[in-house]
Structure 1
Amino acid sequence: MPFGYFGNNEENYSQNNQQSKGLLGAGWRPLSRQFNLEYFWHLVWNDNNELTQKTADVISDLANALGRNEYTWWANILNLFSDNVKYEVDVFWNYLTPEPSMPDYRFKDVLTTETPINQAVSRDSIPIDYVLNRLQETTVKKILEILGRPDIITQYFMERYYYYPVSQFSSWERLETPGTIYAYWSKYQVWLQIESYEKGRRWYSLMAKDLAPLINKATYNLAVILSGYKSRVGQVNSLFPIRSFPGDIQSFTDKVQQEIIDQSQLAVLIHGEPGTGKTAWTQAVAKEILMPLGFVIFILDHDAVENFIPPSYLERICLIINEADNLAQDRGSTAAQGNTRTEHILSLLDGTLYQSVIEEGGIQQQQKFVVLLTCNTTERLDPAMLRKGRIDLMYEFNHKFV
């Protein structure tokens, strides 16, 4: 089946004709199908009857074009170039030649995004889906930057194949097309498919046998803050290096670093009075330890925690949850009634919610998950939070840092 075919392209011939001219004017060129001896022998051995029949049909068409008694010989020769004969010859040639390469939809790794992503952000809404979609869009675009120019860029439009000279390629946003674009990078064995929609919207799909290495490169040093109107995708930032903390905290940090390296899932809880540097410490650990190891950092506020599910295409994820004593409160207390934040945090710490996402077909098969929690006091925390197997390391900050 031809790829990128539009079912509505023949509704208006004159309009389509203008679109085709516009396609050529935008730099696209008709793609000629080349004879392939190996493919021809494949037809001879596996489809001999059909090959014989089609060959006889096209010879018959040529004979009819040349054998008209009511016209002179030179008129019959001109008839060889008529639309009807040309169409029959093209059909036969397309049968003899392999179609241009197209994506292998059996590839297990697929990463998609719609672009541009637009959504109003205000104090009254916590657009988690919006920010996570922005992260996915950012990841896809960074992967395309890493890939650079593809080996081929093609599309199928109005029953013809077109290609775009890669030497003229500058960016995907500036590549005009009325249909579906396909591109391939042989070095990485990656296919890109771009579907165009109205109002300049596009749908990007990356397909490969193994996208994980490219995703890891594209998400290096990325941080996501989910905090109401401040929600955004950016980079890891820390104002205070780990060496600026007291010696006992530096020793605890060394232990945390070793556990991060050794464990596939780790939860760390630090507690202490306000001003002891708890939030600054989590940022320093994210900047100096987690970011170099390839972790994507998610900083979640109260409302985001309740609705957050870790993206399954990321290999290494760190959640920073501040003021956990206001989130995972004792479910026996009056203050904790009527919300599910405690249950959601417990499921994150257990790994049940996280692992269920991975099992549904995530790109990353061996993921690492770190949770850094801060609180002023452990007294208000739900007792289930502190059970063995949920919090792996805990430390009290006593020194006034700020």
Structure 2
Amino acid sequence: MDFDYFRSNDNNSANNNRQNLLSSGWRPFQRDFDWEHFQNIIFNDTQELAQRGINLVSFYADALARKDYAWWANIVNLASDYTRSEFQKFWNFITPDAQNPDYRYKDILSTETPIVQFVSRNSIPIDYVLNLLQEITVLRILRLLERPDIITQYYSERDFYFPVEKFISWERLDIINTVYAYWSKHDVWLQVDPYERGRRQYTLMSKDLAPLTNKATYDLAVMLSGYQSRVGKVQNQFPINSFPQEIQNFTDLVQQSILNQHQLAVVVHGEPGTGKTAWTQSVAKEILVPLGYVIFILDHDAITNFVPPSYLERICIIINEADNLAQDRASEVAQYNNKTEHILALLDGTLYQSVIDESGVQMKQRLVVLMTCNTTERLDPAMLRKGRVDLMCEFTKQFV
């Protein structure tokens, strides 16, 4: 096997990639001397500095003292790779490295893009939609951040930087290896990893991503309903002031409870056509969206596999026809098709609020659950116990 052939191809590929970087606007990163960094090395790593200095002088002495070459050839040899690489090592030691992300940041949000949906009997559409929501969130955050302060890329043992004044968009940036970017105003790092077929991984890192995440997810709604699942905006056909006065009074109570409580569960019940579903959409659009809540409308199948995304601070879950889901577990019908436990888990907060993390800080995620049903008689008694459902209202007037 001709190993020189493969080595030659690798070198050609590296050279082509380097030329592509240079032609697309990337420039070699120059390490600048910093007195503060150098003084830190002098006082805290004196022995290593002295040893590296002696080694460098030894290499220069060896380059100048070769007897097989003329004196002028030895001087020229000082600029050869033989000594240049040693000087570069010494220079890299006494100068600060290019800025890199602080991986100790607690808030990390990552996505692969573009998101691809694989439709099959074994795939779960809910996974695709939740991944799509995360992709939308990350890309919206990047648009909010706009132009970064620095953009760097390490390739072929060299650091490159992209002049930020020439930056247009991440899609148009030529990326061969891992790219880092930093926004000092928000103290946010971005890591971009290229994959095959043009796919990329975007990872945001910060001490606190919540303010940016809240802005990026404003007015977002997610419908999880089999293959019709989608991410968009919630719509309401009827404003709250078009409902009967007693419903408007109840809505005022719900609004005040949303402002006062971290977790709220509401059940509205009544005959079909009394406006229960329309009311939940109106509350979501007129009250919850302005407060920064992301709306999730779940059908019966989505209940089983849904876990509220942890990067969202405020979530509203709408469950229609809850009496067909959380049926009394003592009934025979409920034994065969019952999702009561999943709804109870959401109401109890056992999926996200009952566990305190290692740092001792409890999750501060705010949750509102709006449920509709035709009758409360079929609901499991555990649903209506104190501490699970906070407010109930019966809709009696035909509305739709």
Note whether the superposition's TM-score is higher than 0.5.
yes
Note the alpha carbon deviations across 1:324-362, whole angstroms, 9 max, x for none.
Answer: 011111111222113451110011111112315774899
Which residue does 2:11 correspond to in 1?
Answer: 13
Query: For the Cα contact (< 8 Å) 2:258–2:264, is it kept in 1?
Result: yes
Which residue does 1:109 correspond to in 2?
Answer: 107
SS where residue 351 of structure 2 aligns?
helix
Structure 1 residue 70: Cα displacement: 2.9
Tell me which of 289, 297, 321 is aligned to 1:323: 321
Which residue does 2:300 correspond to in 1?
Answer: 302
Which residue does 2:167 correspond to in 1?
Answer: 169
**Which amino acid counterpart does residue 68 of structure 1 have in structure 2?**
R
Query: For the Cα contact (< 8 Å) 1:312–1:363, is it kept in 2?
Result: no
Which residue does 2:54 correspond to in 1?
Answer: 56
Structure 1 residue 236: Cα displacement: 2.2
CA distance in 2, matches of 1:319, 1:334: 28
SS where residue 291 of structure 1 aligns?
helix
Which residue does 1:198 correspond to in 2?
Answer: 196
CA separation of 1:280 and 1:363: change in aligned 2, threshold 3 A: farther
Query: For the Cα contact (< 8 Å) 2:353–2:362, is it kept in 1?
Result: no
CA separation of 1:203 and 1:283: change in aligned 2, threshold 3 A: same
Report matched runs for 1:143-162 at 5 Å.
Answer: 143-162=141-160
SS where residue 93 of structure 2 aligns?
helix
Q: Does 1:314 align with 2:312?
A: yes
Structure 1 residue 78: Cα displacement: 1.4
CA distance in 1, matches of 2:185, 2:353: 32
Tell me which of 275, 279, 282 is aligned to 2:280: 282
**Which amino acid counterpart does residue 260 of structure 1 have in structure 2?**
I
Query: For the Cα contact (< 8 Å) 2:220–2:294, is it kept in 1?
Result: yes
CA distance in 2, matches of 1:359, 1:270: 34
How many residue pairs were aligned? 394
SS where residue 352 of structure 1 aligns?
coil
TM-score computed with the length of structure 2 as normaliser: 0.94
Query: Unpaired runs of 5+ in structure 1?
Result: 1-8
Query: For the Cα contact (< 8 Å) 2:329–2:338, is it kept in 1?
Result: no
CA separation of 1:284 and 1:121: change in aligned 2, threshold 3 A: farther
Report matched runs for 1:72-221 at 5 Å.
Answer: 72-121=70-119, 126-221=124-219
Q: Does 1:396 align with 2:394?
A: yes
Tell me which of 263, 266, 272 is aligned to 2:264: 266
Alignment RMSD (CA, Å): 2.1
Which residue does 1:6 correspond to in 2?
Answer: none
Name the stretch that deviates more: 290-299 or 116-125. 116-125
CA distance in 2, matches of 1:174, 1:78: 43
Query: Unpaired runs of 5+ in structure 2?
Result: 1-6
Which residue does 1:32 correspond to in 2?
Answer: 30
CA distance in 2, matches of 1:51, 1:329: 74
CA distance in 1, matches of 2:204, 2:360: 14
Identity across aligned pairs (percent)? 65
Query: For the Cα contact (< 8 Å) 1:131–1:233, is it kept in 2?
Result: yes
TM-score computed with the length of structure 1 as normaliser: 0.94
Query: For the Cα contact (< 8 Å) 1:312–1:357, is it kept in 2?
Result: no
CA separation of 1:270 and 1:360: change in aligned 2, threshold 3 A: farther
**Which amino acid counterpart does residue 258 of structure 2 have in structure 1?**
I
Query: For the Cα contact (< 8 Å) 2:63–2:74, is it kept in 1?
Result: yes
